[in-house]
Amino acid sequence: MIADFVEDYPALAAFTAVLVLLLIVMGIVLRVWFRRRRAEARRRLPPRAPRPDPAPLPALSLDNFAPLPPRTARPTTKPPLRPVAPSVPASVPVIAPVNMPVRMPVSMPVSAPVNMPVSLLVVDDSAVARVLLRKLFEAAGHRVDVAADGDEALALLESKSYAVLVTDLEMPKVNGFELIAAVQSNPASSDLPIIAITGHEELSARVHDMKGLYGIFKKPWNDTELLQRVTNLARLRRLAANG
Q: Is 15 part of a structural domain of the chain?
A: yes
DSSP string, the chain: -HHHHHHH-HHHHHHHHHHHHHHHHHHHHHHHHHHHHHHHHHHHSPPPPP-SSPPPPPP-SGGGSPPPPPPPPPP-SPPPPPPPPPP--TTSPPPPPS----PPPTTS-SS--TT---EEEEE-S-HHHHHHHHHHHHHTT-EEEEESSHHHHHHHHHH---SEEEEESS-SSS-HHHHHHHHHHSTTTTT--EEEEES-HHHHHHHTT-SSEEEEEESSPPHHHHHHHHHHHHHHHHHHHH-
36 and 151 in a common domain:
no
Most confident of 34-38, 69-73, 82-86: 34-38
Are residues 236 and 135 part of one domain? yes
In a domain, 51, yes or no: no
Nearest to 241 by CA among 157, 163, 160, 183: 163
Calpha distance 150→98 (Å, rounded):
54
Residues 134 and 229 grouped into a single domain: yes
For residue 35, the model assigns a pLDDT of: 86
23 within domain boundaries = yes
The residue segments making up the domain with residue 122 are: 116-242
pTM of the model: 0.52
Residues 18 and 132 in one domain: no
**Residue 69 is assigned to a structural domain of this protein:** no
CATH code where residue 147 lies: 3.40.50.2300
Residue 34 has pLDDT above 70, yes or no: yes
Whether residues 144 and 228 fall in one domain: yes
Q: Is 227 exposed, middle or buried (0-12, 13-18, 19+ CB in 10 A)?
A: middle
Which one, of 181, 184, 180, lies nearest residue 197 by Cα? Answer: 180
Res. 108 pLDDT band, cuts 50 70 90: very low
Q: Is 61 domain-assigned?
A: no
Pair 134, 220 in one domain: yes
Q: Is residue 107 one of the residues assigned to a domain? A: no
Give mean pLDDT, residues 108-127.
Answer: 70
Q: What pLDDT sits at residue 213?
A: 81
Residue 191 domain flag: yes
Shared-domain flag, residues 35 and 138: no
Shared domain for 32 and 144, answered yes or no, is no
**Domain tally, the chain:** 2
| Assigned domain for 19 exists | yes
